[in-house]
Amino acid sequence: MSAQAFHSWGEVFYHINPYSWAAIGIALSLGLSVLGAAWGIFLTGSSLVGASIKAPRIRSKNLISVIFCEAVAIYGVIIAIIMVNKMQGLSESAPGIYPPEAIAAGYCLFWVGITVGGSNLSCGIAVGVSGSGCALGDAQNPTLFVKMLIVEIFGSALGLFGVIVGIIQANAGNFPKQT
Amino acid sequence: MELSFFNVKDGYLEALVRGLRSGFLSADEYRRLAQCESIDDMKLALEETDYGMFLQDEPSPIPSTVIGQKCREKLANEFRHLRSQANYPLSKFLDFLTVEKMIDNVVGLIQGTVNKKSPQDLLGRVDPLGWFPEMKAIASMDITSGYEEIYKTLLIDTPVGPYFESFLKQVTPADSESRSMQEVASIFNETDLELMKNMLKKAWLEDFNAFCETLGGSTAEVMGHILKTNSDFRVMSVTLNSLNTMLGSSQQLGDRNLLYPSLGYLYPEGTDRIRKAWNETTVRAALEPYKPYAALFDLCAPYYSKERSGVTDIKQLKSLEDLIYEKEVELCEFAFEQQFHYGVFYSWVKLREQEIRNIVWIADMISMGRKEHTEEIVPIFRPRY
């Protein structure tokens, strides 16, 4: 590619490879989801370990809270796989010039990553905090477990919303078929 | 943010202390203890609780003081377990809890050496929670040479040193900056030990509160409330006790006013009003704008005026100390209602101390054969509906 002069920010963005937008989207969706899941697991886990010293019976039951957090990471993986499958068939008509469909698809996948990553990060923290409360509550009073579990399920639903919206969003972004 | 970062350092310990919370004696277990015929029965009853076999190695007629001491040792062991795993802000918070006991211990030791008790006897009676190595030196000190030695030990390298220093600054006139050891010793001789203890506690309370405020968040909120209320209680009990001694000279009034901590809900207007009060009516009037405290005062007032009013049924009456114990238990119980703050550690220690007082009281009553009084305890985590 020869040295070029850019005249505006729009032009700068126009010349960025749509694949790189899509790849950043994948990185965000997977990375933020895993961050959220890990955060939730350490919030739950540290409380669970402490609480199960005096009440060992809670230790297997409360692994459910950890699994809820883990699910958040799986959401990110699912979306990342869907997005990877969409990345194919990019052709340059001239150096640095991409077809408009490809540019639209690149932006689309980037924002899918933001949607899914952001919602799963907050979902992971929410499930982690309620899971930590669940472990402490269960240790004191076993009847609280089911009640806290419902709170956790609703927290977990937040991440699912992100996934559903992300899938619908990703449907719009298709790279043009290679000819 | 507190919600998402608290568990990084303190999640495990908070969960652990909440686990220990479930070890408090239940109403049933208190009932079982109260029904015991002898101390040996009590030992068996305690074995079924969270206390376990802690009295196993004691020779059979166990005095109630030994039970208390053993309970405190168990608390201190559990506390040390927590302390050894704590990270910075929490570790300092826990150290503050031990410093309070250290002040008690040091004052107790000095009192003991003044009364010429044997060092072994004295060291056997200190609160294990506030144990520190220099204590041995204090107990075995030769006090015939004055308090100079004790002072050197206390001011250098002990955790309570800073409080003694601030205490000294308060009792010495400001112009004597370069005071000699001799002067220090003379102040020490003059100052009543009880007065000194209260001054030290006051300095500790103010220091602890300042530390909790730097922590911020729920810790500052929960601990702020507990410490403010405690300092108000301190003001009330100092005031009432000084009324009772009927020593209202201006010198003593000055001494008393030095003891009021500069924090709490009463501070500054309420404290100021109490400072000027000199008898029951004026104290009551000073407390008037503070409804909960005024109610507390009314509750315990008959106890203090019982000699005059000729009430014979003492059982119905409660002293301010009893009422304060009850209120403190309530305060500490409420600290467990929130998650992600340090107040639970403070509350757990305070509640365990109250539980130990309960056990010792029951043991005393059983060994004296006055079982009708065994119910007069402050239950902890009484079921609320």
Kindly provide the ipTM of the predicted complex, given to two decimals.
0.86
On the question of pLDDT at B77 being above 80, the answer is yes
Collect all residues of chain B within an 8 Å Cβ-Cβ radius of residue A135: 15
How much is the mean pLDDT over chain A?
90
Which residues in B68-94 are b (16+ Cβ under 10 Å) and which e? bbbbbebbbebbeebbeebeebbeebb
Which phi-psi region, left, alpha or beta, contains residue B381 (left: φ > 0; alpha: ψ -120 to 50)?
A: left
On the question of pLDDT at B204 being above 60, the answer is yes
Q: Which residue of A lies nearest to B21 if distances are taken between CA atoms?
A: A140
Mutate to test the interface with B, among A35, A42, A54, A57 (most CBs of B within 10 A): A54
Please state the pTM of the whole predicted model.
0.89
| CB within 8 Å: A54 and B13 | no
SS3 B226: helix
Domain A17-84+98-170 carries which CATH code?
1.20.120.610
On the question of pLDDT at B143 being above 80, the answer is no
Tokens, residue A95: 């150096």
On the question of pLDDT at A43 being above 50, the answer is yes
Contact, B7 vs A69, CB < 8 A? no
CA distance A54 to chain B (A): 5
Please tell me the predicted confidence (pLDDT) of residue A1.
47
Lowest mean pLDDT among A35-39, B197-201, B273-277: B273-277
**A39 touching B, CB under 8 A?**
yes
Cα–Cα dist B9/B14, whole Å: 10
> Mean pLDDT over residues A71-84, rounded?
94
On the question of pLDDT at B142 being above 80, the answer is no
Please tell me the predicted confidence (pLDDT) of residue B312.
54
DSSP lists the bridge partners of residue A97 as: A94
Tally of residues, chain A: 179
Please tell me the predicted confidence (pLDDT) of residue B244.
64
Q: Chain B residues with CB-CB distance to A under 8 A?
A: 3-4, 7-8, 11-16, 18-23, 339
Domain ranges within chain A, ordered by starting residue: 17-84+98-170
Per-residue pLDDT tens over the stretch B275-314? 877 777 888 888 888 888 888 888 887 777 665 555 555 5
Per-residue pLDDT tens over the stretch B219-261? 999 999 999 999 999 888 888 877 766 555 666 677 777 788 8
| CB within 8 Å: B4 and A136 | no
Sorted by sequence, the CB contacts under 8 Å of residue B52 that are 6+ apart come out as none
Please tell me the predicted confidence (pLDDT) of residue B189.
62
Lowest mean pLDDT among A136-145, B139-148, B232-241, B265-274: B139-148
Q: Which residue of B lies nearest to A136 if distances are taken between CA atoms?
A: B15
More confident residue, B275 or A157: A157
On the question of pLDDT at B181 being above 70, the answer is no
Among the partner residues B4, B16, B19, nearest to A39 by beta-carbon distance: B4
**What is the enclosing helix (H) or strand (E) of B228?**
helix B217-244
Collect all residues of chain B within an 8 Å Cβ-Cβ radius of residue A132: 7, 11, 15, 339
On the question of pLDDT at A44 being above 90, the answer is yes
Sorted by sequence, the CB contacts under 8 Å of residue B331 that are 6+ apart come out as B225, B226, B229, B230, B347
Phi–psi pair at A97, nearest 5 degrees? -115, 125
pLDDT cut 90: percent of chain B above it: 26
Among the partner residues B11, B16, B23, nearest to A132 by beta-carbon distance: B11
